[in-house]
Structure 1
Amino acid sequence: MEIKPLNPNESSLEILFESYLIKGCGSFDKLLEVYQEYKKNNPDKSVIITLDNLDQAEYTSTHAILFNDLDNIEGHDLSNVDSAAFENGEHIGYLSTPSEFFILKENFFKQTKEMDFSGACDRGLSIESEELSMLEKVNTSPLDYIDKQIILKVVPVKNSYDAIAGFPNGYFSSDLNPFENYAVAKRLYEKYGYELFGIGASLMGFINNNFLNDDQATELITDLAELYDADVELFHRLLGIVKSNKHLFIKYTEDLNF
C-alpha cells in the first residue's frame, strides 16, 4: 500500500487541510489500521476517508459546497487569510488555502443548527429489497466497494461527525443533504458509539470500538428503518451483520447502484 501527501492535480477539490492519497490497499482491516493511526497522531482533529466512486463523490461535494454557499466569504474576517487567496487585493472568489477552511467550517455549522435525525428521516429516502441485499454485501466485503484510490483527510474539527464539514456531500434533491448526513452521523455516534470514518458518492461508513448488544442492535435497526421509511421486519436482515461487525455502511442516496 502506498500513502503519500495529496497533490493538487490528484483531486478536483482544493486542498484546505492535510490530505493523503492511498493506493493499493489490500484489505479493509489494513485500511482501518491506517485510519486509526492517523486519528491517533492527530488527537485534536478528525480523520475521514473517501469511499465509493471518488470522482463522483468529489463532483457532488463540489456542487454541495456551491449550492449551499459553503464557500461564501461574506461576513468573515479575511485579515489572516493567506495572500495566495487574493489577486490585486480582491479575494479570488473560492476557497483555495488552508487558512480559509474556517470559512467552510463556520458556514457549514450554521446550517446544522436546526437539523436533527428526525429531519433527516423526513427527506423520504426509501430502500428496495435489492438495495438492502447490496448493503449486506457492502458490509460483508467493504473493500470490494471502495474505490481503488482513496483520499484520507485530516480535518481540523473535534468530532468524527464534524468531519463532514471537510467533505460535505449530498447534492441531489432526492438524497440526504450534507446537514442531514451530519445529523445521521451525530445520531449514530451519540446513541451507539459509531464514529463516521468515511463518505463516498453513495455510502457513509462508520466504525465502533465495541460490538452492539442485542438491545442496541435492535434499536439501530429501528432507526435505520425510520431513516428509509421501511418496514422494521425488512431491516432485520441486517441484524446479524450489525451484531457481528464493528463497522457499518449505509446509503445516503436515493439509489444504490454498484
Structure 2
Amino acid sequence: MTTGKAETPGLGSVAGMDPSELTPVAQDYLKVIWSATEWGDPPITTTALASRLGTTAPNVADTVKRLAAQGLVEYRPYKPVNLTAAGRDYAVAMVRRHRLLETFLVTTLGYSWDQVHDEADRLEHAASQTLIERIDALLGHPDRDPHGDPIPTVEGHTHRPAHAIRLADAAPDIYRIARVSDADPARLNRFSGHGLRPGQTVRVGEREAGELTISLPGNDQAPLVLAPEETKAIWVSPAASAGLRGPASI
C-alpha cells in the first residue's frame, strides 16, 4: 500500500540500544553524522562536523578516529564520514530521544519551538531509556517533532514525507510545509510569526534577485519575501500529494 511517505529500513530495535554506553561526545557525533544525510544531503565531512559541533577540525579528526576504532564509523582521511550498522543504531536511538524530548517540551511543558533544540540537547544525555519510552507513551507515540522531523520508531523506522524538497528548489505551485530546520532559533521565531510551520499550505511565486515570494492560501496577510538562506531552511511536499489543487500565482 502506498503511504505517501518515504520509509527508512529498520535498523534493529533502537530500544535495545542504550546510548548511555557511549560518552556524550560520541552520542553527539553519531547523531549529527546521521542527521546530516536524513533529508537527502551527502555524507558529512570532518570540516562540516567541526562547524556543526562548534569545535576544531583536529578535534573532530581525533574523535572520529576513536569512533572508527570502536566500530561506529567508517573513516578515511579527507573523505566524508559514514556510520557503520552499529553506529546507525546508536545514532537513531539518540535522534529518537532528542525528538521525543523536543515534542514533550512543546506539547506538555509549553516551550516554544525555537526554545527546545538546545534544551533537548542537554536533557538527552541524562534521560534514561525508561523515561524516554514513558514520554513516548504519554505523547501517544508521535511520528514527528515540532519542526516536522520524523521521530524514529522503536524498530528504527522513520517516515519522511515523500517527494519533499527544499523550498529553494520549488517551482511556482502550491505545497505543504513538511519540515523547518531548527538550526537558527531567531529564524524559527520569524517563521512562526508568519505561520510557516509543518502542515501549513504555501503558494510559491516567482524569484527575483534570489529572493522568493510566497503566500498562505486563505490568509489575508501580505505575501512574504524570503531570503535565499531562509528558503533552504524549509522543506515542502507537493500539495497534490495531500489532495490539494490550486493556481500558482500570488
TM over 0.5: no
Q: TM-score, normalised by structure 1?
A: 0.27
Higher helix share: 1
Higher RCO (C-alpha under 8 Å, 6+ residues apart): 1
